[in-house]
Amino acid sequence: MNLTATLAAATLVAAGAAHAQSAPDLLEKHACTACHAVDKKGVGPAHNDVSAKYKGNAKAADMLADKVKKGGSGVWGAVPMPPNAQVPEADIKAMVAYVLALKK
């Protein structure tokens, strides 16, 4: 790749990064905060409680991403979590990684 092509590619990457949203912004954008808060139970569990429950579980990120996408019930009580199939996979992964990184 020549210098011009390299600079063009770097510019595109930088522009994409500038448009990336933080995980808390994504949680707000996709209405997760309507039922979940970081530090207190709402309709759904607190995000830091989810993090504590799955701490050390190597399969947690994939399992929770699947739960966000498809919905589910019974883990945190009787209220079901609706499916969120419209949320982009990359956003789900970013939000789940953020939630799992929280500490109580």
Per residue in 58-99, pLDDT (tens digit) is: 999 999 999 999 999 999 999 999 999 999 999 999 999 999
Instruction: Give the per-residue pLDDT at 11.
Output: 42
Closest CA to 24 of 38, 14, 35: 38
Once rounded to an integer, what is the mean pLDDT over residues 8-37?
A: 75
Measured in degrees and rounded to the nearest 5, phi and psi for residue 83 equal: -70, 150
Rounded distance between C-alpha atoms, residue 2 and residue 46, angstroms = 50
Which tokens is 21 given? 């949203």
Predicted TM-score (pTM) of the model is 0.79
Of 4-8, 11-15, 97-101, which one has max mean pLDDT? 97-101
